[in-house]
A and B are shown apart, each in its own frame.
Chain A
Amino acid sequence: EPEVTQTPSHQVTQMGQEVILRCVPISNHLYFYWYRQILGQKVEFLVSFYNNEISEKSEIFDDQFSVERPDGSNFTLKIRSTKLEDSAMYFCASNPQFYNEQFFGPGTRLTVL
């Protein structure tokens, strides 16, 4: 069964460093998303992406964040200068069309020291 994959599973970085989290959505899906979950808190929407541009973004998704689909298969989230409060589990999701379920990847745990 097709699934969303994410790499790495765990990333440790120093405050102020740039990180890139990678996702491979399901191949025929058209809509892509990033969410984050700070430990013990709820899952929060960051951004959605369609047709090579951002469709919707939350207040969390400020200028430190960017997304890209560089090669037609990968979908990346870049954090330019990480802060301690960026430590969280980051989930990628995708779906094939409007209003269908979003399929979530297993997540990348980001730890900022």
Chain B
Amino acid sequence: DGGITQSPKYLFRKEGQNVTLSCEQNLNHDAMYWYRQDPGQGLRLIYYSQIVNDFQKGDIAEGYSVSREKKESFPLTVTSAQKNPTAFYLCASSTGTNTNYGYTFGSGTRLTVV
């Protein structure tokens, strides 16, 4: 079955550590997205990529980095510069470069700072 796989489901980070969240899709979608979800804040766009080896900052990119070396993969690194990383992180993809038909989302990664 086609879909988006995010791993791990739960992740704990110590202060000052960088951590990487995985996102893999087998839908043959060109575009991929990372969102952060906090209670009462809705979905906030971190980064997105419309094509391999290219990506753009979203509304809250500070403290995060991404890469897009393969069409199927769009990992997100939460760096130590992100001062409040505890949140639910969602990866999504869309057909081609056309978002008119919506996204397919992964099941999310819950990141907690310990």
A, B bound: no
Residues of B within 8 A of A (CB): none
Name A's B-contacting residues (CB within 8 A). Answer: none
